[in-house]
Structure formats: C-alpha cells, structure tokens
Amino acid sequence: MRVLITGSTGVVGQEVVRSLVSSDEDVEVTKVARRPSAPDEVAWNMGHAPPPPELRGPWDAVVHTAASTRWSMGRDEAVEANVKPTEAVLGLLGENTHLVHLSTAYADGADPELHAVPSAFGRHRNGYEWSKAECETLVRERHEGPLTVVRPPLIIGRTTDGEIGRFTGPYTLVQALASGLAAALVGDTRGCAELAPVDQVADVTVGAVLGEAPSAPRTEVIAGGPKCLRLGELLDVVCGTLNEWRAERGISPIGQPPFIPTERWHRFFLPMAREHLSPVQLEVVQLLGMFESYTSLDEPLEPTQQVKDPAAALALSIRCWADRKPRLASRIPEPWAGVGG
C-alpha cells in the first residue's frame, strides 16, 4: 500500500507517520514537508513549485496534514498558505486514491454575533478557520475518489505520555498562565472547551487510511462532546497540574486569574487595556481573547470519535510541557502594572 503524507514534520503529521510506520500493515510511506528535517523526507513547496518526481503516483492514499495554523493570517495569506497547497495536492490524486484530509472542527464557523473578537471572515473567527473551510469545499468538489475529512478541535499531547511535536495552540495559554501574563481570562466558566489528544487524531486518521475506503465522503469529528471540559474545569486542571509540578520542586504556586464575561471585557476592560497596558501586555490579552471563541462554546461539539477523558489527557500534557520547559514552568509571576506604573 503506497501512502503519501504531507506536512510530515507538523504536529499531526509526525504522529501519523509514527503510527503508520509502527503498524503491522504492509505500508510504503512517503513523507513530504516544505522544510524537511530528515533525509527520507521529500522537499516540496506545495502550491508554489511543481511536485518533484518522487511524488508521482499512483497513490493508494494521500494524507494531507500540511497547513499553517496561525490565526492571524489575512485572506490572501491564508490562500497562499493553505488553499493553494491543497489545490496542488489534488493534482497528485488518481480516481481511486483515498484522500484523508485534515481540517478543523470549527470549519463550519459560528454565528458572527457570538465571536469574542470581531472577524473579517464572516462566520469564521480567523483566516485559518476560513481557509480550512475553503479547503474542504475544494476537496469535496474536485476529488471524485474516496474522501475522509478529519476534524479535530484544539490539539494537546498524547494520552500515553503527554508528548507532542511542538507546543503550539493551547500551550500559549499555559505559558501565559505560568508567567503571570494572563492577568484575566475572557469567557464563561461554563463554556465548553474542546480538546483532542494528538495520538487520537492520528489513530482516527490512520484508521481511515488502513480501513475500507468510503463510498461517499465521510467526516470524522474528534471531540469530547458531553464529556468535554468546561472552561473553569480547564483552568483548574492547568493551574492544579502546574502547581503540583512546582510543589515537587519547592516553587511557590501560581494563582488562578479571574474570569471576565465577554461583553464586559469588550465594553469596559479592553478600552482601558489599550490605554494603560504596555504593548507586550496588550498583545497577550488580545491573543488570549482569541481563545475565548474556542474555550467558551455554548454547546459541545458532536463527535463521531469521542475523547473519553480530556481532563486526564490535559493534565499529562501540562506535566510534559513543564518537564520540557522547566524555566517557563518555574517562573515567578510578576504583578501587572500599567505603563509607567
């Protein structure tokens, strides 16, 4: 079985490669990355250069995980980073190739009135989310062969050891809490915070590759659903795990920041923040404000593949982060002060 994996150096791509290579199946894996990190990876600037000869088919399956996940992308930048590479990958597919396309659980967007931060992308909160919706439209319209779309929410470390290829996404919030830069969190403590361990995302992806190809497009949503954490519970797990780790090393605990309701934040606190906070502090609060749309959902997602114990997976991920980033995890938070304070 010949399988091509794009984005093989990415968070999900690394885990998919690991899972496929360790399977008992007879699989020939070809890894593709824009910037390869190993001799057995093929370099390809997807969407901006022709595919190299090594990528000629036919392929039994193509797993497309390559993407820029930055929320700050504008529309043109998101097209260049995500839409054009997806178009290029479609050019490699045969009529019987099973395309397993990694998307996001938020590709459908949400009512713009519910966005914590005003968006230039209509129903979508940011350029990343919008571009993944555009990519889904592309693959559904242009690929006539078997198609599986995998939709994870925010991704954390493995259920086995907490490890992950890169500490991005929700780990930004963890670092802000450990450093004291998260002076407050915006959102509803009862809001739904959906998380998925990276190994479960990979297992669903690899299961699609090795299983029977679907006769009609299939969508897999990985989420806690009714078992998902609430935002207040998420904060308890993050701060509690960090403080356990710190106590084991004789380091004073961090405190939990207060919650500020979204409407009050935008009406009263953010205008004052712009006036009184330093540029670094303001950048942090604006970044954390972008998380509110993802950690304070009114309703949990409806999973086809359920995350059974997100709290345990999150705690293991936090401890792994602290072990890998001890200087950050050991920081003594400094009280905030306004410019000139």
For residue 162, give the amino acid letter: G
Report the C-alpha gap between 7 and 2 in whole angstroms. Answer: 17
> Mean pLDDT score of the chain, rounded to an integer?
90
**According to the model, what pLDDT value does residue 112 have?**
66
Report the C-alpha gap between 223 and 200 in whole angstroms. Answer: 10
**According to the model, what pLDDT value does residue 118 have?**
64
Q: How far is C-alpha 119 from the geometric centre of its chain's CA atoms? A: 19
Name the pLDDT band for 5 (thresholds 50, 70, 90): very high
Taking only the tens place, the pLDDT of each residue in 183-240 is: 777 778 898 999 999 999 999 999 999 999 999 999 999 999 999 999 999 999 999 9
pLDDT at 68 over 60: yes
Name the pLDDT band for 116 (thresholds 50, 70, 90): low
**Closest by alpha carbon to 19, among 245, 272, 207?**
207
Please state, for a pLDDT cut of 90, what percent of the chain lies above it: 67
Report the C-alpha gap between 125 and 129 in whole angstroms. Answer: 7
Which tokens in the block code for residue 276?
């009184």
Half-sphere exposure of 166 (CA within 13 A, CB side): 11
Residue 282 class from Cβ within 10 Å (0-12 exposed, 13-18 middle, 19+ buried)?
middle
Report the C-alpha gap between 238 and 317 in whole angstroms. Answer: 9
HEC per residue, the chain: CEEEEECCCCHHHHHHHHHHHCCCCCCEEEEEECCCCCCCEEECCCCCCCCCHHHCCCCCEEEECCCCCCCCCCHHHHHHHHHHHHHHHHCCCCCCCEEEEECCCCCCCCCHHHCCCCCCECCECCHHHHHHHHHHHHHHHHCCCCEEEEECCEEECCCCCCCCCCCCCCHHHHHHHHHCCCCCEECCCCCEECEEEHHHHHHHHHHHHHCCCCCCCEEEEEECHHHCEEHHHHHHHHHHHHHHHHHCCCCCCCCCCCEECHHHHHHHHHHHHHHHCCHHHHHHHHHHHHHHHHHCECCCCCCCEECCCHHHHHHHHHHHHHHHCHHHHCCCCCCCCCCCC
pLDDT at 102 over 70: yes
Phi and psi of 30, rounded to 5°? Answer: -110, 125
Taking only the tens place, the pLDDT of each residue in 261-302 is: 777 777 777 777 777 777 776 777 667 667 777 877 889 999
Domain boundaries, the chain: 2-151, 163-195+224-299+308-341
Q: To which residue do tokens 């190739």 refer?
A: 97
Least confident of 58-72, 111-125, 162-176: 111-125
pLDDT at 49 over 60: yes
Residue 3 class from Cβ within 10 Å (0-12 exposed, 13-18 middle, 19+ buried)?
buried
Name the pLDDT band for 339 (thresholds 50, 70, 90): very low
pLDDT at 106 over 50: yes
For residue 101, give the amino acid letter: H
**According to the model, what pLDDT value does residue 222 have?**
98
Which residues sit opposite 193 in a β-bridge? 229
CATH of region 2-151 = 3.40.50.720
Of residues 114 and 227, the one with the higher pLDDT is 227
**pTM score:** 0.92
